[in-house]
């Protein structure tokens, strides 16, 4: 059995996938699985040419982010499952630090520190609190542009936290989420009714915590994140949320 399994879901990810995979080349104890959701660019070709030992599945149609992740999880042999976006680059030692964090009693999920290419922390995106109606209205109405210090946006985006400290959190970004395999299976993975993307990670983290598991933010595990490229490839903006009300607290 592998120490862990990295599951990467791609959709027109040709610009990022090679860098993502090459950063995993030295992680020989980790299995790498790529599920492609019917990309029409050269994502698959670049993955195959990366020189990395990766198991590739090419779906004939876009089954959605949640379904593709569940598909990859069923193929995984690792004790730890790491959901990783193709625009995220793993830095040395970060996978083992996440696995160590998950080995603590009561911990079911973990994430690391996401930073931009220039090294600046992805504040406001890396970790968030669960959405409430008030917080979502503040986001939709762009209240932070009129009132930067308003408490609704700051609370939701966790701008009041010390991002340099190991701590329990509510909701890490789905771009980098490590989960104990037994926890994933007990929760049935991601809810596939969230299609094609958005809020399935929020729903999963909420269910995880409702079942008594903790999610830990480990800033010593650093991941370079260039941004939501696959989301930008989606042509229909109406997919932002199929069932937004079910994730509100």
Virtual CA dihedral for 41, 48, 28, 120, nearest 10 degrees?
-30
Contact between 39 and 61 (Cβ < 8 Å): no
Instruction: Give the pLDDT score at 96.
Output: 98
Are 178 and 99 within 8 A, CB to CB? yes
- Confidence at residue 127, expressed as pLDDT on a 0 to 100 scale: 97
Task: Determine how β-strand 214-225 pairs with β-strand 167-169.
Answer: antiparallel
Q: What is the mean pLDDT of the chain?
A: 90
pLDDT digits (tens, 9 = 90+) for 140-190: 878 778 788 788 788 889 999 999 999 999 999 999 999 999 999 999 999
What pLDDT is stored for residue 249 in this prediction? 58
* C-alpha span between 130 and 96 (Å, rounded): 27
Measured from the Cβ of residue 219, the count of other Cβ atoms closer than 10 Å reads 18
Q: Residue 196's pLDDT is what? A: 58
pLDDT computed for residue 19 by the predictor = 98
133 Cβ contact list (under 8 Å, min separation 6): 248
Evaluate if residue 129 carries a pLDDT over 90: yes
Predicted confidence at residue 137, as pLDDT, reads 82
State pLDDT tens for residues 4-50.
Answer: 999 999 999 999 999 999 999 999 999 999 999 999 999 999 999 99
CATH number at residue 49: 3.90.550.10
Residue 112: pLDDT above 60?
yes
pLDDT score for 30: 98
Total count of domains within the chain: 1
Residue 240 has pLDDT above 80, yes or no: no
Q: What whole-number distance in Å separates Cα of residue 110 and Cα of residue 215?
A: 5
Tell me how far apart the terminal alpha carbons of the chain are, to the nearest angstrom.
38
pLDDT in tens, 81-110: 999 999 999 999 999 999 999 999 999 999
Confidence (pLDDT) at 150 = 81
Of the listed ranges 51-60, 80-89, 170-179, 197-206, the least confidently predicted one is 197-206
**pLDDT, greater one: 198 or 128:** 128
CA–CA dist 113, 172 (Å, integer): 10
Question: Which residue range forms the structural domain that includes residue 93?
Answer: 4-247
- pTM value? 0.89
């Amino acid at each position: 059995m592998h120490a862990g399994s990295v599951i990467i879901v791609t959709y027109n990810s040709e610009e990022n996938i090679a860098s993502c995979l090459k950063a995993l080349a030295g992680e020989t104890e980790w299995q790498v699985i790529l599920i492609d959701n019917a990309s029409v660019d050269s994502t698959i070709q670049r993955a195959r040419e990366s020189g990395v030992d990766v198991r590739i599945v090419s779906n004939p149609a876009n089954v959605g982010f949640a379904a593709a992740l569940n598909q990859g999880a069923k193929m995984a042999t690792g004790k730890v499952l790491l959901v990783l976006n193709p625009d995220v680059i793993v830095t040395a030692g970060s996978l083992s630090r996440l696995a160590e964090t998950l080995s603590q009693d009561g911990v079911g999920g973990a994430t690391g520190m996401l930073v931009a290419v220039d090294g600046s922390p992805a504040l406001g995106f890396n970790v968030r609190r669960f959405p409430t109606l008030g917080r979502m209205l503040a986001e939709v109405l762009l209240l932070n542009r009129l009132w930067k210090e308003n408490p609704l946006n700051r609370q939701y985006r966790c701008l009041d936290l010390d991002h340099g400290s190991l701590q329990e959190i509510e909701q890490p970004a789905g771009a980098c989420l490590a989960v104990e395999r037994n926890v994933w299976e007990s929760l049935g993975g991601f809810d596939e009714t969230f299609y094609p993307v958005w809020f399935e990670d929020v729903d999963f983290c909420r269910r995880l915590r409702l079942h008594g598991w903790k999610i830990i933010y480990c800033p010593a595990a650093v991941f370079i994140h260039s941004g939501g490229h696959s989301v930008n490839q989606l042509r229909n903006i109406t997919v932002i949320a199929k069932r937004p009300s079910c994730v509100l607290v």
